């Protein structure tokens, strides 16, 4: 691992683990996270009194052991209305449609993204529009479902929307209100299983800051599969720079400065 401190698992084992992570999560673990992950493996292995080989087999075979490790890997950074130009596209899309819309927030982390989309859907869309929000991590989904955020986090929601779509708790935290809660459905889902996703006929797919950790060929396969989940006229919004050279015969690029979005023809 060029330039990195030597692996505590040994090069051969480290390579096995990295390839397991990639095949399960699609994620190419950034070198800076290698040591963190290796420590986690050592911790779990020692707590179980196992040697490396038996522990690798356990992580390979046991869903719950794998989930424990995977939770330590994913990067969960997020924020309300994180990328404003993309939300401007969402607003435009919702204002122009005369149907109840189905949106999908993919890699929704602790919920700020789907709750932001829900606020837009309530403010600019038709009444029954709803949002499917999914992530591979159970830990972040628990936070997302709870829908309670520190005052600091909630600061990025405009004050009138904070009052309209939620309430302040005595602790000073902000709690998502019922009108948004009825709009969002959380669901554990691994992007690597996108071909088996139970969602169809979506109007908008919002997928930002997830694919950046994937290899380019995986990103392409995932995006191709997402196209099939969209209705004609549906929109796919990625993070700027995440896959600018992707082309698909059924998708045309939406021109809006600072965004990366496509519309299904
Ligand atoms: C950096 S956060 C981005 C959150 C949000 N989309 C945003 O832009 O603010 C990435 C999220 O993607 C999730 N993730 C990573 N690999 C995934 C996979 N294979 N399937 C589904 N979600 C995944 C992580 O658990 C994490 O919550």
DSSP for the chain, written as a single string: -TTSPPPSS-HHHHHHHHHHHHHHH-B---HHHHHHHHHHHHHHHHHTT--HHHHHHHHHH-HHHHHHHHHTT------TT-SHHHHHHHHHHHHH--S--EEEEES-TTTHHHHHHHHHHHHHS-TT-EEEEEES-HHHHHHHHHTEE-HHHHTTS-HHHHHHHEEE-TTS-EEE-HHHHTTEEEEE--GGGGGG-S--SEEEEEE-SSGGGB-HHHHHHHHHHHHTTEEEEEEEEE-TTSSTT---TTEEEE--TT-EEEEE-
Q: CA-to-CA distance for 122 and 256, rounded, in angstroms?
A: 23
| CB of 260 closer than 8 Å to CB of 206 | no
Supply φ then ψ for residue 255, to 5 degrees. Answer: -95, 110
pLDDT at 14: 92
pLDDT on residue 5: 60
Q: Which domains does the chain have, with CATH numbers?
A: 11-71 (no CATH), 84-264 (3.40.50.150)
Q: Quickly tell me which residue has 């995440």 as its tokens.
A: 242
CB 110 within 8 A of CB 78: yes
Stretches in the chain below the pLDDT threshold 70 = 1-5
pLDDT given at position 174: 98
Question: What confidence score (pLDDT) does residue 129 get?
Answer: 92
**Site residues for ligand 1, CB cut-off 6 Å:** 25-27, 74-78, 82, 107, 109, 113, 135-137, 140, 190-192, 208-210
Q: pTM here?
A: 0.94
Q: Which residue among 28, 67, 86, 107 has the greatest number of ligand 1 atoms within 8 angstroms of its CB, and so is best to mutate?
A: 107
What pLDDT shows up at residue 4?
53
CA of 67 to the centre of ligand 1 (A): 15
Q: What is the pLDDT of residues 96-128, one digit of tens each?
A: 998 899 999 999 999 999 999 999 999 998 888
- Report the length, in residues, of the chain: 265
């Amino acid at each position: 691992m060029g330039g990195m401190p030597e692996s505590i698992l040994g090069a051969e084992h480290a390579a096995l683990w990295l390839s397991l992570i990639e095949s399960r999560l699609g994620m190419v673990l950034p070198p800076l996270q290698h040591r963190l992950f290796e420590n986690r493996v050592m911790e779990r292995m020692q707590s179980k009194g196992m040697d490396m080989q038996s522990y690798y087999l356990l992580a390979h075979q046991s869903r719950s052991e794998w989930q424990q490790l995977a939770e330590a890997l994913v990067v969960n950074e997020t924020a309300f209305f994180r990328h404003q130009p993309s939300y401007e596209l969402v607003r435009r899309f919702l204002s122009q449609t005369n149907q109840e819309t189905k949106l999908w927030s993919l890699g929704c982390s602790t919920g700020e993204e789907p709750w932001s989309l829900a606020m837009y859907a309530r403010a600019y869309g038709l009444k029954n529009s709803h949002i499917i929000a999914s992530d591979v991590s159970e830990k972040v989904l628990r936070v997302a479902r709870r829908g309670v955020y520190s005052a600091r986090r909630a600061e990025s929601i405009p004050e009138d929307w904070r009052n309209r779509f939620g309430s302040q708790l005595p602790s000073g935290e902000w709690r998502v209100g019922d009108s948004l809660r009825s709009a969002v459905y959380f669901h554990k889902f691994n992007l690597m299983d996108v071909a088996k996703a139970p969602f169809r006929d979506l109007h908008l797919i919002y997928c930002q800051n997830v694919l950046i950790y994937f290899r380019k060929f995986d990103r392409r396969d995932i995006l191709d599969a997402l196209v099939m989940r969209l209705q004609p006229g549906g929109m796919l919004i990625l993070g700027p720079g995440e896959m600018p050279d992707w082309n698909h015969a059924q998708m045309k690029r939406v021109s809006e400065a600072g965004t990366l979005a496509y519309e299904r023809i």
